[in-house]
Copies of this chain bind each other. A is one copy, B any other.
Amino acid sequence: MSFTLPQKLLTEFIGTFFLSLTICTAAIHGSTDEYVPFAIASTLMVVIYAGGHVSGAHYNPAVTISVYLRGSCDKDDVLPYIFSQVSAAMIAALISEKLLTSEKDHSVELFSLSSEAVIAEFLFTFLLAYVILNVATTESTSGNGYFGAAIALVVLAGAITVGDISLASFNPAVTSALIISGKVSLSSSWMHFLPQFIGGILAAYVYKFNTK
């Protein structure tokens, strides 16, 4: 399987974006440091499994240099890769600042959803569906044994990173359970349902772009 440069750069962008978003959101600005190393490692793991077959999943200029010196990265790819990685990281840092203006207390009875929750549910449901499509439905990775771990760790990363922001549902069925449990009100539940379905739909189109 051979991929085009735009497909590789999009993959490097998505991977480095989520890695940096997790680091900035969970570790740098976060009110609590709980489980942060696990969120970071999980995010890295899932984007490696999702994108390894497309771009090699470097997500790191030092790795791109190292892999290039070893002879496993095209010379012409080195600078575009680094540019894609650094710009993804910078954009992630800016978005994580937006996300963090609305951190909430997780223990309150009824969780009031905000526009930041909409962004959080959108981003991680997109990542969830993007990972699933790449590890569980694509030919390049068929027969792999890591699909369950990769998919589940998106939820681990999301729960740690944006749990305080959106309750980390990423799943309309789970949101239904949260409504029954009295944790999310029916009237604000569209702030879960809408970004969740949009995230899933966008992932399908990104996947199609990357495999066409």
**Interface set of A (CB-CB < 8 Å, partner B):** 16, 19-20, 23-24, 28-29, 33, 35-38, 40-42, 44-46, 48-49, 52, 56-57, 59-63, 65-67, 69-70, 72, 82, 85-86, 88-90, 92-94, 96-97, 106-107, 125, 128-129, 132-133, 136-137, 144-153, 155-156, 159-160, 163, 168, 170-174, 176-178, 180-181, 183, 196-197, 199-201, 203-205, 207-208
Contacts and interface: CB of A to CB of B under 8 A. Distances in A.
Q: How many copies does the complex hold?
A: 4
Contact of A174 (B19, B148, B196): B19
A201 B40 CA distance: 24
A179 to B, nearest CB: 8
Nearest to A169: B23
Given A156-B37, A173-B88, A177-B93, A63 B149 contact: no
A63 B132 contact: yes
Given A20-B177, A82-B172, A89-B174, 12 more contacts: A37-B156, A45-B153, A60-B128, A60-B174, A62-B171, A62-B200, A66-B203, A69-B201, A70-B133, A92-B177, A94-B180, A146-B149
A61 B173 contact: yes
Contacts of A20: 173-174, 177
A147 B196 CA distance: 30
Contacts of A93: 176-178, 180-181
Contacts of A49: 148
Given A148-B52, A173-B16, A199 B62 contact: yes
Contacts of A65: 197, 200-201, 204
Given A90-B177, A96-B181, A197 B41 contact: no
A173 B60 contact: yes
A59 B183 contact: no
A180 B96 CA distance: 11
Nearest to A211: B70
